[in-house]
Amino acid sequence: MIALLAIGTVRFFSKSNEYRYVRVELTGREWWYGAIDPPPWLASEIGVGDTELEPNGAVSAEVVSYDAYPQGDEKVKFYPVIKLKGSYDRRSQQFIYKGLPVAVGGRIAIDLSGKKLLGIITHVSDEPITLPEESLRIRAIWRNRDPWIVAALKPGLTAINAGTGEEIARVLSVATQVPTTEIISYVYGGAVVFNKDPQKRDVVLELEIRAQSIGGVWSYAGHQKVKLGESLWVYTDTVDIEGIEITGLYPLENEE
């Protein structure tokens, strides 16, 4: 009798076969090790339509879209959007998936046809998650670059979202100038010497990027803030453009 009462109470306070969409930043280890990036080969293993199945064969999770941003040095940032099947607990007013509440900042583990995805939830919604996007034109400076790097920088270099195949950045123009900062050298005896390497150049770049609004802030490649004075990393097909300083920023449609 007590058991039946308990089952009835659970059913009364919980609604089964509810669905939610979550956007997840994937990590490469169990959550308690911290947000370590997953291996780069995962980009070719995840596909829209991949599913997790319950023992009875019912679908409990499905990948509906995903972004993948190469970060250089064989690193990739992954952000899949996943449709979850679970239940809604009326008492706690929480959506429950595999016995755990689903909330922004919470951990999640999903098994997709033998592939285990681990990550941190960044968004939760009743509807499919699509982040607002806008094309922006930026001017930036890349300081004290070696000549072989300068030679490799050409208009037309692109960066790609490996999840969608879409272009997210393109180099529009490249110009060079004498470095505006000096290199600090320390010599024997503690003396400090300021000098400039005659071979190095500051590179002034113009790029078109595709930014997403995350928490009211325009962001590039999932997590990089797009603001004046911020540093930006753009990983193109041939050159990793790392740590450029944004000096100009405006929407393409407002360009004069």
pTM above threshold 0.85: no
What is the rounded distance in angstroms from the CA atom of residue 218 to the CA atom of residue 16?
A: 37
What is the rounded distance in angstroms from the CA atom of residue 104 to the CA atom of residue 22?
A: 9
According to DSSP, the residues that pair with 23 across neighbouring strands are 81, 123
User: How many other C-beta atoms are found inside a 10 Å radius of the C-beta of residue 57?
Assistant: 6
Which positions ≥6 away from 28 have C-beta within 8 Å? 36, 37, 38, 39, 118
How much of the chain exceeds pLDDT 70, in percent?
83
Q: Are 136 and 208 in contact (CB under 8 A)?
A: yes
> What confidence category does residue 35 fall into, taking pLDDT thresholds of 50, 70 and 90?
low
Q: What is the pLDDT of residues 193-237, one digit of tens each?
A: 556 678 899 999 999 999 999 989 999 999 899 999 999 999 998
Which positions ≥6 away from 242 have C-beta within 8 Å? 72, 233
Among the residues of 81-201, which ranges form H helices?
147-152
Asked if pLDDT for residue 75 goes beyond 80, the answer is: yes
